[in-house]
Amino acid sequence: MADFQTPALREYPIIPLLHEGTMAHSRPFVAKPEHQASVGFPGELVENWEQKAVDKLGELVSKSRALQVFLDSCVKCGACTDKCHYYLGTEDPKNMPVARQDLLRSVYRRYFTFAGKYFPKLVGARDMTKDVLDEWYTYFHQCSQCRRCSVFCPYGIDTAEISMAARDVMDHVGLGQKYSNEIIGKLHKIGNNLGLPEPALRDTLEGLEEDVKDETGVDVKFPLDVKGADILLITPSADFFAEPHIDGLIGYAKVFHAAGASWTISSYASEAANFSMFIGSHDNLRKVALRIRKAALDLGVKRIIFGECGHAWRVAYSFLNTLAGPFEFLDPKYPVPQHICEYTYDLIQRGKLNFDKSANDNLVVTFHDSCNVSRASRMGDMPGGQFKIPREVIKACVNNFHDMAPDTINESTYCCGGGGGLLTDDLMELRVKGAMPRMQALKEVVDEHGVNHVAAICAICKSQYTKVLPYYKFEMDMIGSVHGLVSKAIRLNPVND
């Protein structure tokens, strides 16, 4: 464990006193020239970068009315100040959403507003200097773009948009973050964040078929690159690699099996994640999304279903059609795309799945709402479906379920602390401290209701929990996939048709 203090969990949550500069040292590794090149950005700080950064900011503002409104409309009311998990966990005032926004807003004001151009000091406008750039790099990599603050902002100012814009500007002048940019480059080259080539993927999937056969005696298939399959499953590559993610993948396969569905994974588009959103890069966002379109066309599928990945579902639900549509070649009877929880929920509603809930009787379960699912998308055809549907799927599979405190779930959910491109070891202090509000809420249900399992539908959340739970004296295997619970409880009767 690293050399920092894990925040204390208290009897009840408090708003901490300010400690200026406690996280001023936190900087993720800088992308190397080859990582930058792989995503189309200059390898190092370019000549005349100050002017280029200002020009880029101007371009972004002129293209996005939303960004301009967010930069113009803050009245410093303070409603957001205590809503950020990173502020609550680090006590650094620059992690208050308004302060984070102002890092960029002050530069915007200097170059793009009348008052800032002529009376910069009066309006807190700042020149684009190296100190400012360094501060951006530090504090815009302490925002997981979870958008909790925007729920509480009376103007709806979305800090995530500002943080994405700042990262985009930095990338354009040659200052990128290694973690995100290396991964996006790998995705362009190999098809997934891990760099998992087709033979390894095939081997892993075959291994899973054996495992499930050993466990259940049933031939559950994990098809890869099957032309003419009805359903294309797009899932985070962590589902092929990490624990507890892989239990979720096994769950999806069992559901497809029980439904008698024809489905396939694509080795070309073997990734749901699209980190391009984290760095605010539209070009990369589109390039990644187009892989999914190409795979769907090449395999001739009728439907696209996304596995458990938080930000991927935002990209899928909110942007896929504009990025890579229209999907007129898919079956119009089904939503494009569909979430695996919607798919499983629908089967449950229609009585198509059988469960033995007692298989999960060793667990008292709570559900962690992932930011991007909760605040940037929906499931099903009713408001709040993104909260209800995963919970209904869980409740169909377990006898013991308790939600965490109301102000920490649904649209007010706390980030796991690792979202938005921050799930990297070089930000471990930030990740542990940022997890504090979530861990505080978890501790309450652990103490009061004996909760011993957290289910989630996001690969980042699952990995982040695995890492930070032990810092808060919880077992690392307390976190699981929603479809891991499904996998345990589902009874695999022979397919009828």
Site residues, another protein (CB under 8 A): 29, 179, 182-183, 186, 192-197, 199-200, 203-204, 207-208, 211, 236-238, 240-243, 245-246, 273, 309, 423, 425-426, 459-460, 462-463, 467, 476-477
> How many angstroms separate the CA atoms of 249 and 9, rounded?
33
Least separation in angstroms between residue 190's CB and another protein is 9
Least separation in angstroms between residue 246's CB and another protein is 5
Ramachandran category for residue 170: left, alpha or beta (phi over 0 → left; psi -120 to 50 → alpha): alpha
- Residue number, 16 or 195, with CB nearest to another protein: 195
- Residue number, 195 or 223, with CB nearest to another protein: 195
b/e per residue, 228-257, with b = 16+ CB within 10 A?
Answer: ebbbbbbbbbbbbbebbbbbbbbbbbbbbb
Ramachandran category for residue 244: left, alpha or beta (phi over 0 → left; psi -120 to 50 → alpha): alpha
- Residue number, 196 or 316, with CB nearest to another protein: 196
Asked if residue 227 lies in contact with residue 192, where contact means CB atoms within 8 angstroms, the answer is no
- Residue number, 13 or 195, with CB nearest to another protein: 195
> How many angstroms separate the CA atoms of 275 and 277, rounded?
5
> How many angstroms separate the CA atoms of 219 and 216, rounded?
8
Least separation in angstroms between residue 67's CB and another protein is 27
- Residue number, 137 or 355, with CB nearest to another protein: 137
Burial class (CB in 10 A: 0-12, 13-18, 19+), 494: exposed
Least separation in angstroms between residue 251's CB and another protein is 14
Instruction: Identify the H or E element spanning 355.
Output: strand 354-355
- Residue number, 179 or 327, with CB nearest to another protein: 179
Radius of gyration of the chain (CA): 23
Which residues on neighbouring strands pair with residue 303, listed in sequence order? 231
Least separation in angstroms between residue 202's CB and another protein is 10
- Residue number, 207 or 326, with CB nearest to another protein: 207
Least separation in angstroms between residue 285's CB and another protein is 17
> How many angstroms separate the CA atoms of 421 and 345, rounded?
30
Least separation in angstroms between residue 8's CB and another protein is 23
